[in-house]
Amino acid sequence: MKPEPSEAEHEQDTVYQSLLHRQRPGGRSAKVHAAVLQATGELLLEQGYAQLRIGDVAQRAGVHETSIYRRWKTKAMLVADTVLALFDQHVPNPDTGAFRDDVLSFLPSLVRYLQSPEGAALSRACVDVSNLAEAAEARQAVWGIWVAQFAVLVERAIERGELPAATNAQIFLEMLIGPFFLRLLVTGEPFGEDMATQVIDLLLHN
């Protein structure tokens, strides 16, 4: 018999499901939504997760706190949605008809984003707050969405016969982007212009 999920696991799943099925509002709600995400992104980069306050977000966005809580029940949900929105703006999810071309379409965009002041600071902020349970909840929810999105590319590649049927999308994605995060957050080495090509070819040819 499968054990009942813990309260923390249930909350994390709630964040993930909320983000997975998130809808883009229209009209005035769209403007409020955009203003809140922009304010959250700015404050997250300036202060980090631990110091981020919903009241400060509301003040900068020019909205009432209740408007934020109606859409985002927790700070973790707000931050996770903000990170995903920033990622979606800078990194495409392509469908070129070939897995290697798909990867070479989005990976350079990811690298450029990680090298930007915004992307680098956001990545470091996620690492700096990794010991906070609520921040970990947001981070895991974001990672779950990224894996789900990448899994679509992997499933297409499997259907085309480009990848083995047993290919694990999460492990493949970890191996694909791991070298870039290692250089960004640990070694400080620069990204070579052909690094994306080298990484994907190593993975596909071994």
pLDDT digits (tens, 9 = 90+) for 155-174: 999 999 999 999 999 999 99
Closest alpha carbon to 162 in 128, 200, 193: 200
Is the CB of residue 12 less than 8 Å from the CB of residue 141? yes
91 and 183: one domain?
A: yes
195 and 122: one domain?
A: yes
Q: If you search the block for the tokens 């809140």, which residue do you land on?
A: 36
162 and 62: one domain?
A: no
Q: What angle do CA 176, 87, 66 make, to 5 degrees?
A: 140
50 and 128: one domain?
A: no
pLDDT of 58: 96
pLDDT of 60: 96
CATH of residue 47: 1.10.357.10
pLDDT digits (tens, 9 = 90+) for 74-83: 888 888 888 8
pLDDT of 112: 81
Q: Which domain holds residue 20?
A: 7-82
Burial 42-81 (b: 16+ CB within 10 A, else e): bbbbeebbeebebebbbeebebeeebbeebbebbbbbbbb
State how many domains the chain has.
2
In this prediction the pTM is: 0.69
Question: Does some domain include residue 161?
Answer: yes
Does residue 66 surpass a pLDDT of 90?
yes
Question: Does some domain include residue 155?
Answer: yes
Question: Does some domain include residue 1?
Answer: no
52 and 108: one domain?
A: no
- Residue 181 tokens read as 């995060």
The mean predicted confidence, pLDDT, of the chain is 80
Query: Which of these three, 82, 117, 137, is where a domain ends?
Result: 82
pLDDT digits (tens, 9 = 90+) for 102-146: 999 888 887 787 777 777 766 666 665 555 676 677 777 778 878
15 CB-contact burial (10 Å; exposed 0-12 / middle 13-18 / buried 19+): buried
pLDDT of 1: 44
Question: Does some domain include residue 188?
Answer: yes
